[in-house]
Amino acid sequence: MTIACVVAAVDGSPESLRAVDWAADDAFRRGLGLRLVHACLWERYEQETLDDSELAPERKAVQEILDSAGERAVKRRPGVPVETELLAEDVLSALLGLQRHSPLLVLGTRGHGGFPGLLLGSVALRVTARAAYPVVVVRGEGAPAEPGHRRVVLGVGPHDVSAAVDLAVEEAVAGHADLELVHAWHPDVDLSGMSVLMDVGAASDRARSLLNAVRLPDLGDTEVEVRRKAEQARPAPALLRAAAGADLLVVGAHRRRGHPGLQLGSVNHAMLHHAPCPVAVVPTL
């Protein structure tokens, strides 16, 4: 997977500032630049009806948001090149348009204008459901694990997960973390007779075969330890348990060609709303 830069969307909210911190750390680990963006639709359309003196306060406020986020990132990771950019579009169009930069986009769980009772903001949900590039939603409140105790979890489902594998491996290598592949499975049910028969053995064997079939790139002499875990459980609870204490949970989002709507399954929804750590959603075809 080619990621050319790390991008964080900022609006001054505490959640977006946590996203800036995570993005700065990730850019440092990857040896990439960090781009901080803020989208303002009025910058494009209202300048035809408002003069500069009327727009000045809004422009100043936005610039202060970007400058403050940039200073925060530089202070956190002094060696990371940081750029700021004001995008003159609505938020959704602006963030989806970042595809041209081959980014890893980092979002807070919600920003200004979100309702406190919601677990995930509408912007984060819509971008994650439609983006053609990886998106990380920064969830969880705990401090990062100490070196030597870091862990990246990859959810393995029935669809092709090669793109998600690439990102999970990159994050594990860059963060000197262990990589844990998790797949949840159910026993086969035979309804052909008078009673219900549960065939655990065959389903368990298939689950282990599926995990073993996931091909990882050559890890060389890295310190990454790989574990593969097949658990008899429903997918969402199994991943939530695995994500406890993890630095990152990576899941794939199967994209259907020609389907313009939201494309997130129930498991991904559950992870984005309830995971105890940051969640990376990687589009797959």
What's the whole-number average pLDDT of the chain? 84
Tell me which of 77, 105, 138 is where a domain ends.
138
Residue type at position 230:
A
Q: Which residues contact 61 (CB under 8 A, 6 or more apart)?
A: none
Q: Which pLDDT does position 114 carry in this prediction?
A: 42
Q: What is the signed CA dihedral for 96, 100, 102, 104, rounded to 10 degrees?
A: -30
Report the CATH number at residue 64: 3.40.50.620
Residues pairing with 195 in the sheet = none
If asked whether residues 172 and 108 sit together in one domain, one would say: no
* Structure letter (DSSP) for residue 200: H
Q: Which pLDDT does position 234 carry in this prediction?
A: 93
With beta carbons less than 8 A apart as the criterion, state whether 276 and 143 touch: no
∠ Cα 16 20 23 (to 5°): 130
Q: Which pLDDT does position 81 carry in this prediction?
A: 98
∠ Cα 50 98 29 (to 5°): 125
Residue carrying structure tokens 């990859």: 154
Give the Cα separation of 192 and 142 in Å (integer).
49
If asked whether residues 119 and 7 sit together in one domain, one would say: yes
With beta carbons less than 8 A apart as the criterion, state whether 148 and 194 touch: no
Q: Which pLDDT does position 61 carry in this prediction?
A: 84
If asked whether residues 222 and 125 sit together in one domain, one would say: no
pTM above 0.85, yes or no: yes
Residue 283, classed as helix, strand or coil, is strand
If asked whether residues 49 and 99 sit together in one domain, one would say: yes
Q: Which pLDDT does position 197 carry in this prediction?
A: 47
Q: Which pLDDT does position 204 carry in this prediction?
A: 85
Task: Answer with the residue of higher pLDDT: 55 or 269.
Answer: 269
If asked whether residues 20 and 134 sit together in one domain, one would say: yes
Tell me which of 85, 106, 138 is where a domain ends.
138
Q: Which pLDDT does position 45 carry in this prediction?
A: 43
- The number of angstroms, rounded, from the C-alpha of 281 to the middle of its chain's C-alpha atoms is 4
**pLDDT tens-digit readout, 89-147:** 888 999 999 999 999 999 998 654 443 333 456 888 889 999 999 999 998 765 455 55
With beta carbons less than 8 A apart as the criterion, state whether 172 and 157 touch: no
Give the Cα separation of 20 and 32 in Å (integer).
14
Biggest distance spanned by C-alpha atoms of the chain: 81
If asked whether residues 194 and 247 sit together in one domain, one would say: yes
Q: Which pLDDT does position 285 carry in this prediction?
A: 66
Task: Answer with the residue of higher pLDDT: 8 or 285.
Answer: 8
If asked whether residues 11 and 58 sit together in one domain, one would say: yes
Residue 272 in this model has a pLDDT that exceeds 50: yes
Q: Binning pLDDT at 50, 70 and 90, where does residue 256 land?
A: low
Tell me which of 138, 164, 189 is where a domain ends.
138
If asked whether residues 112 and 159 sit together in one domain, one would say: no
In which region does residue 28 sit, left (phi positive, over 0), alpha (psi from -120 to 50) or beta (all else)? alpha
Cα separations (Å) of 12 from 27, 112, 190, 241? 20, 8, 55, 32
Residue 49 in this model has a pLDDT that exceeds 80: no
Q: How many domains does the chain have?
A: 2
**pLDDT tens-digit readout, 67-96:** 999 999 999 999 999 999 999 888 899 999
Question: Mean per-residue pLDDT for 265-275?
Answer: 92
Q: Which pLDDT does position 2 carry in this prediction?
A: 86
Q: Which residues contact 181 (CB under 8 A, 6 or more apart)?
A: 154, 156, 211, 214, 226, 227, 228, 229
Task: Answer with the residue of higher pLDDT: 256 or 83.
Answer: 83
**pLDDT tens-digit readout, 170-183:** 999 999 999 999 99
If asked whether residues 166 and 222 sit together in one domain, one would say: yes
If asked whether residues 223 and 132 sit together in one domain, one would say: no
Task: Answer with the residue of higher pLDDT: 186 or 188.
Answer: 186
Q: Binning pLDDT at 50, 70 and 90, where does residue 274 land?
A: very high
- Helix count and strand count (H, E) for the chain: 9, 12
**pLDDT tens-digit readout, 210-228:** 999 999 998 888 889 999 9
Residue 259 in this model has a pLDDT that exceeds 60: no
Among 40-44, 87-91, 152-156, 222-226, the range scoring the smallest mean pLDDT is 40-44
Q: Which residue range is the domain that position 46 belongs to? A: 1-138
In which region does residue 242 sit, left (phi positive, over 0), alpha (psi from -120 to 50) or beta (all else)? alpha
Question: Mean per-residue pLDDT for 160-187?
Answer: 93
φ/ψ of residue 22, rounded to 5: -65, -45
